[in-house]
Amino acid sequence: MDYIPFTKPFLDEETIQGVADVMRSGWLASGPKVIEFESSLSDYLGGRIVKSFTSATGALEVALELCDIGEGDEVITPAMSFAATPNVILRVGAKPVFVDVDPDTRNIDLDQVKSAITPKTRAIMPVHFAGLSVDCDRLYDIAQKHGLRVIEDAAHAIGTRHKGRKIGSFGDIVSFSFHPNKNMTTIEGGALSISDPTEARKLDQLRFHGIVKDGEGNMDVALPGGKYNLSDVAARVGIGQIKNLDSFNEKRNQLVDRYFECWELEACLLPAKDEGHSWHMFAPLIPFERLGFPRSEFIRAMHGQGIGVGIHYPALHLFSLYRKLGYREGDFPHAERIGRETVTLPLFPMMRMEDVERVCRTVSGILKP
């Protein structure tokens, strides 16, 4: 019986050979392949300025620095995401202000965003969860009315569309992740999409030691930048991936359609569908407490049947780091329900329809009385 992981990257032979060519070239750090990769991403996003990073976490942190967000400032963000989202807010000295999410879309509740705005609020950092776009029209309407920056955590959303427009082809600042479990990968890496050339120049400094060079190669250091520049090796992987991204996402949509067709457990809450969804993950909510079946036991049983399962994500405000800020159980009931009930089932482009059918049969076999 073949093991089905919950995710698995695909690298074609051309990409593997391309990486070998880079290794032989002697130019391993940022160089021509990074320039080519950023150009390809820019083309994919309709000509936006794109800057690559060693990680999406680093990209988010630099985005906050770019917006001069720091001590005494507040950034509104969802109470259900990966820990990187609020962690970077703390790292620049600001305070993450959590709001709840919608249980169907798992995206930030924009009504609660409006209520959370204070004189200290400087930005909103939404997450396009699992590849489903936030309502960008409402989001930017709120931000503009209150003079706030928007830093979109689009780690799950490369190729996602909102009303026909690709996430990252519009908006303020948009951050992507290219971790191996994402819809495309650079092994590790991320990128920011922005529109302002002046901010783009500052980004170059923030991601590489604050260095500025003149036309004659003389160097100055203008600010205390970090080191987040992508390598040519990673960029070559990304060049191959972006060529296949739309076909990867189309296959993900087909697989999810089959999940919906085969799913039998009516007690579960399946994720919301949308025309522009890129389906980074398929994460139903299973009422384990009501079914009298602990999630840990379910995961062990699935693994025993050769099927990988993830958990995306626990509610952020219940982690010890964020309890120190005064958050408590009961503050965000939807995020807490998701944290208790979510499971992430296998979804990746090389899956077969029969794999989806096997996953659904196995889930039903374990949970049905």
Chain centroid to Cα 232, Å, comes to 22
Please name the amino acid found at residue 222: A
For 120, the token pair is 């200290």
> 257: exposed, middle or buried (C-beta count within 10 Å: 0-12, 13-18, 19+)?
middle
For 350, the token pair is 């090389």
Spatial distance between the Cα atoms of 344 and 140, rounded to a whole number of angstroms: 30
Q: Which of 33, 51, 182, 202 is catalytic?
A: 182
In the residue annotation, 182 being an active-site residue is answered as: yes
Spatial distance between the Cα atoms of 153 and 168, rounded to a whole number of angstroms: 10
Spatial distance between the Cα atoms of 164 and 304, rounded to a whole number of angstroms: 42
Chain centroid to Cα 225, Å, comes to 24
Catalytic residue positions, numbered: 182
